């Protein structure tokens, strides 16, 4: 499923002599313009900054008590100064400071729990066929929420009208068993110049919501940015048990992913302590509705914040991708909350927390993906084949090279966002499937593709000889048309 909306209304422009796309000679400059500039103050009306806050950076040295006290004193002084400016009223326009961390936690953040990889879990495990997991509303009565064999689907229920004050305590008590902490590792640059440059592992943390199960797997929805490119993925449940997990499928342009946990890996006690969330109708929410946000804040375990629906149908741009039709809420969306639940007064999931407005002066602008808008995508991802990374001798290739058409380039030059092919190797799988120079790849086996790194990450799970469908834009009569082609992946001799 790919949106034609990602196409800009502008007509793509080519060099009249060479026929080359105009932007390719200036790709680096365009990408540099879009990249994070955390030390630059910009006006909010020009370049608002939104961040995910999900990757823990390399930990910084702990500050002394004297240093902390000095910083606190300076912050209080600054706060008084800002208050005076605010009270004065005239001539003061707030400057927004772009966040220094994209896909990251604040410096000094710590991971939730202890990595138990390699440790033997105490207690017995049950076979997948014996495990029964109730819905949130039926927790404790033994109701089995499994779906038909071989098929997974979202369970959606009708909301009832509630006029009484929201029972936050009751909502949290019944909903918490359906929330999981998602942890893993990413490879990041050291940030130093040669000869000290290199890469290192950094911890990541996010949140997920249990939305269903099939005969062999527990299925958890989260944000794509929480799991894309993450290794050693684990889920930590409400009883603090940590289990290995696998990405079943992701849709980067929707920021939605489904993570699978093998039912056979669950302890019997864990299976009894968790529940499957109930999904509400996000189309029926109104401004002023009370909401509860639950997530793995700062990677330190689940926490709860409360607020209201502040706005509807909002659009933001994060990491070169535009997201639309979002719910804005003043319930605090903290680092690590991404992928967590935004719940209505009935305790049903109406949104998946995704990003927040990053600014020193602005508070209370968090964003969530409406659950009703991604139900079809979620159903598709839940029924995808769960894959493991293939071994080196089975690695696959397409035979292409290209440049990324980022969000900024797409807006500026009128090209679809994806990978613009600069070369298609003769007799390669891509060539045999009919792809040519200047085609733009946007999808691979049902998953959206917005960059070369996206494609490389996806292909690690596909062996040579497999057939996949590639979605791409092809130029016809001066405009790009969306097409698809079946490609038999070749063997990567490298």
Quote the pLDDT of residue 70: 62
CA dihedral 182, 186, 192, 196 (to 10 degrees): 130
Which is it for strands 242-244 and 290-295: parallel, antiparallel or unpaired?
unpaired
Q: Alpha-carbon distance 48 to 327, whole Å?
A: 17
Residue 486 burial (CB count, 10 A): 10
Cα separation values, 488 from 141, 212, 433, Å: 49, 32, 8
Q: How far is CA 14 from the centre of its chain?
A: 34
The torsion angles phi and psi of 76, rounded to 5 degrees, stand at: -65, -40
On the 0-12 / 13-18 / 19+ scale of CB atoms within 10 A, 344 is buried
Q: Alpha-carbon distance 210 to 179, whole Å?
A: 6
Q: Alpha-carbon distance 330 to 366, whole Å?
A: 6
Quote the pLDDT of residue 72: 62
Number of H helices, E strands in the chain: 9, 24
List residues bridging with 375 in a β-sheet.
Answer: none
pTM summary value: 0.65
Which of 7, 12, 10, 55 has its CA nearest to residue 319? 55
Q: Alpha-carbon distance 327 to 122, whole Å?
A: 42
Q: Alpha-carbon distance 363 to 357, whole Å?
A: 8
Quote the pLDDT of residue 71: 59
pLDDT per residue of the chain (494 residues) written in tens, 0 to 9: 444 444 544 567 676 666 677 776 555 444 433 333 333 333 333 445 554 544 343 344 444 555 555 656 665 665 555 454 444 433 333 333 333 333 333 333 322 222 232 333 233 344 555 678 888 876 644 444 433 334 566 655 555 444 557 889 999 999 999 999 999 887 766 555 555 556 677 888 899 999 999 989 999 999 988 988 788 899 999 999 999 999 988 888 889 999 999 999 999 999 999 999 999 999 999 999 999 999 988 778 888 999 999 999 998 888 767 888 999 999 988 778 899 999 999 999 999 998 776 666 667 788 999 999 999 989 989 988 888 888 888 889 899 999 998 878 888 888 888 999 999 999 999 999 999 999 999 999 888 888 888 888 888 889 999 999 999 999 988 889 999 999 999 987 75
Q: Kindly list the domain boundaries of the chain, sorted by start residue.
A: 7-32+388-491, 48-188+199-386
Quote the pLDDT of residue 74: 62
* End-to-end CA gap in the chain: 32
Pair of tokens at residue 119: 């440790």
Which of 103, 87, 85 has its CA nearest to residue 95? 85
Annotated catalytic residues are: 225, 255, 338
Quote the pLDDT of residue 427: 93
Instruction: Name every residue whose Cβ is closer than 8 Å to that of residue 334 and which is 6 or more positions away in sequence.
Output: 53, 295, 297, 298, 303, 305, 356
Quote the pLDDT of residue 79: 53
Quote the pLDDT of residue 183: 92
Omega of the bond leading into 466 within 30 degrees of 0 (cis)? no
> Given 3.20.20.70, 2.40.10.120, 3.30.710.10, 2.40.50.140, which CATH number is that of 48-188+199-386?
2.40.10.120
Quote the pLDDT of residue 488: 94
Residue with tokens 């918490």: 176
C-alpha triplet 22, 28, 31: angle, nearest 5°:
100
The torsion angles phi and psi of 407, rounded to 5 degrees, stand at: -60, -45
Quote the pLDDT of residue 284: 93
What CATH architecture is 7-32+388-491? Roll (2.30)
Which of 443, 255, 285 has its CA nearest to residue 350? 285
């Amino acid at each position: 499923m790919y949106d034609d909306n990602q196409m800009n209304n502008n007509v793509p422009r080519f060099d009249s002599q060479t026929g080359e796309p105009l932007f390719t000679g200036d790709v680096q400059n365009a990408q540099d313009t879009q990249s994070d500039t955390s030390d630059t103050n910009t006006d909010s009306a020009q370049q608002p900054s939104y961040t995910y806050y999900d990757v823990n950076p390399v930990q910084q040295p702990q500050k002394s008590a004297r240093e902390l006290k000095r910083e606190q004193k300076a912050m209080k002084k600054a706060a008084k100064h800002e208050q005076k400016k605010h009270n004065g009223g005239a001539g003061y326009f707030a400057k927004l400071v772009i966040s220094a961390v994209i896909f990251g936690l604040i410096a000094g953040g710590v991971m939730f729990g202890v990595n138990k990889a390699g440790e033997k879990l105490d207690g017995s495990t049950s076979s997948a066929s014996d495990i029964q997991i109730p819905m949130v509303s039926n927790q404790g009565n033994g109701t089995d929420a499994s779906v038909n064999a071989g098929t997974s689907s979202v369970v959606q229920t009708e909301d009832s009208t509630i006029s009484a004050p929201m029972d936050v305590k009751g909502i949290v008590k019944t909903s918490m068993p359906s929330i999981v902490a998602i942890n893993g590792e990413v490879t990041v640059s050291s940030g130093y110049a040669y000869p000290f440059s290199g890469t290192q592992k950094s911890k990541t943390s996010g949140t997920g919501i249990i939305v269903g199960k099939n005969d062999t797997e527990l299925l958890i929805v989260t944000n794509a940015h929480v799991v894309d490119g993450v290794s050693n993925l684990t889920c930590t449940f409400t009883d603090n048990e940590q289990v290995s997990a696998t990405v079943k499928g992701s849709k980067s342009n929707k920021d939605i992913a489904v993570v699978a946990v093998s039912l056979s890996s669950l302890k019997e006690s864990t299976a009894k302590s968790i529940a499957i969330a109930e999904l509400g109708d996000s189309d029926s929410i109104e401004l002023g509705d009370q909401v509860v946000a639950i997530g793995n804040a700062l990677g330190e375990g689940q926490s709860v914040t409360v607020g209201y629906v502040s706005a509807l149908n909002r659009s933001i741009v994060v990491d070169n991708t535009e997201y639309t039709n979002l719910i804005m809420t003043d319930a605090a969306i903290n680092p690590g909350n991404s992928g967590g639940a935004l719940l209505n007064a009935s305790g049903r999931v109406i949104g998946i927390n995704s990003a927040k407005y990053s600014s020193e002066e602005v508070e209370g602008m968090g964003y969530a993906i409406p659950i009703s808008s991604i139900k079809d995508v979620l159903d598709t991802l839940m029924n995808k084949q769960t894959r493991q990374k293939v071994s080196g001798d089975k690695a696959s290739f397409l035979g292409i090279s290209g440049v990324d058409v980022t969000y900024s380039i797409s807006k500026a030059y009128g090209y679809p966002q994806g990978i613009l092919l600069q070369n298609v190797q003769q007799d390669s799988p891509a060539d045999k499937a009919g792809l040519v120079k200047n085609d733009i790849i946007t999808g691979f086996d049902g998953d959206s593709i917005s960059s070369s790194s996206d494609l490389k990450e996806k292909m690690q799970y596909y062996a040579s000889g497999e057939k996949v469908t590639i979605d791409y834009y092809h130029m016809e009569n001066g405009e790009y048309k969306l097409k698809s082609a079946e490609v038999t992946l070749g063997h990567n001799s490298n």
